[in-house]
């Protein structure tokens, strides 16, 4: 069983969108997998979305622990609230951020706090809602490089991430939106999973 968390010191940086699509991607690649999302955010976005949707995975309110993790779980993805008081436990973490100095300053503080509070972490920084090209995109990528992260999985600003949820699906299950931007969105999410869960390497 592999567990990863999505956390950020800033709100509205795609944590919930990424958590749901990461789960959708794992199941799209292997439909026998049991994937659970834990929603540690009192806002409970994944729970309310799940009630309106046909996701091929379950979203559970709360934080996973030894007592509440289903025995059949292959993957657990935890959507944390954007608060320093709610520091995440998992070693594998995705920290997404918008390409702006305000966000990168907050992320620097956040990453320091993560490492001080919990020791060794596998943090994957993800520039989110970036444009394909531009100064801010380059700055965001340079910011990640300063942390020594070799692979940088960016997520572009794409309507399809929102459109698919309006149909109750992730970009992997939303056939009606299949087109260039859906293929590209799927590739963005697969890149994140490959890095976070080491899918292409033996552990």
Ligand X SMILES: Nc1ncnc2c1ncn2[C@@H]1O[C@H](COP(=O)(O)OP(=O)(O)OP(=O)(O)O)[C@@H](O)[C@H]1O
The yes or no reply on residue 134 touching ligand X (CB under 6 A) is no
Closest CA to 124 of 103, 144, 106: 144
12 binds, among Mg ion, ligand X, none (CB under 5 to 8 A by kind): ligand X
Distance CA 139, CA 134 (A): 9
Here the tokens at position 3 are 């567990």
**Which residue among 11, 62, 70, 134 contacts ligand X (CB under 6 A)?**
11
In angstroms, what CA-CA distances link 164 with 28, 158, 170, 182? 15, 11, 6, 9
**List of residues 6+ apart from 37 with CB closer than 8 A:** 19, 20, 23, 46, 57, 58, 59, 60, 76, 77, 78, 79
Closest contact distance (angstroms) between CB of 4 and ligand X is: 15
Residues that bind Mg ion (CB under 5 A): 15-16, 45
Instruction: Based on the shown chain and the rule CB under 6 A, indicate whether residue 41 belongs to the binding site for ligand X.
Output: yes
Residue from 92, 129, 186, 190 touching ligand X (CB under 6 A): that is: 129
Residues 66, 132, 133, 162: which binds ligand X (CB under 6 A)? 162
CB of 202 to ligand X, least distance (A): 31
Write out the E strands in 62-179: 75-79, 92-97, 122-130, 155-156
Task: Tell me if 155 contacts ligand X by CB under 6 A.
Answer: yes
Q: Which of 192, 70, 195 lies closest to 128 in space, CA to CA? A: 192
Question: Is 82 one of the binding residues for ligand X (CB under 6 A)?
Answer: yes
Residue 203 CB, nearest distance to ligand X (Å)?
28
- Number of residues lying near ligand X (CB under 6 A): 17
Asked if residue 66 lies in contact with residue 89, where contact means CB atoms within 8 angstroms, the answer is no
Question: Is position 16 an interface residue for ligand X (rule: CB under 6 A)?
Answer: yes
The answer to whether 142 contacts ligand X (rule: CB under 6 A) is: no
Residue 62 contacts ligand X per CB under 6 A: no
Residue number closest to Mg ion, CB atom: 16
Q: What are the phi and psi torsion angles at 50 (to 5°)?
A: -60, -35
Residues near ligand X (CB under 6 A): 11-17, 41, 43, 45, 82, 129, 155, 157-158, 161-162
């Amino acid at each position: 069983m592999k567990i990863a968390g999505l956390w950020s010191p800033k709100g509205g940086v795609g944590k919930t969108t990424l958590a749901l699509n990461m789960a959708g991607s794992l199941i799209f690649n292997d439909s026998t997998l049991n994937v659970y999302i834990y929603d540690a955010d009192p806002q409970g976005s994944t729970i309310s979305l799940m009630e309106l949707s046909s996701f091929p995975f379950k979203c559970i309110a709360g934080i996973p622990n030894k007592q509440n993790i289903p025995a059949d779980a292959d993957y657990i993805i935890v959507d944390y609230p954007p608060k320093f008081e709610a520091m995440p436990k998992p070693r594998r973490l995705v920290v997404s951020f918008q390409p702006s100095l305000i966000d990168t300053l907050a992320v620097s503080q956040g990453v320091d706090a993560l490492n001080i509070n919990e020791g060794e972490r596998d943090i994957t920084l993800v520039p989110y809602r970036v444009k394909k090209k531009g100064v801010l995109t380059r700055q965001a990528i340079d910011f990640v490089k300063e942390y020594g992260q070799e692979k940088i999985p960016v997520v572009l600003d794409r309507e399809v991430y929102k459109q698919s949820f309006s149909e109750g699906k992730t970009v992997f299950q939303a056939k009606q939106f299949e087109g260039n931007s859906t293929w590209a969105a799927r590739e963005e999410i697969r890149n994140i999973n490959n890095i976070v869960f080491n899918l292409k390497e033996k552990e």
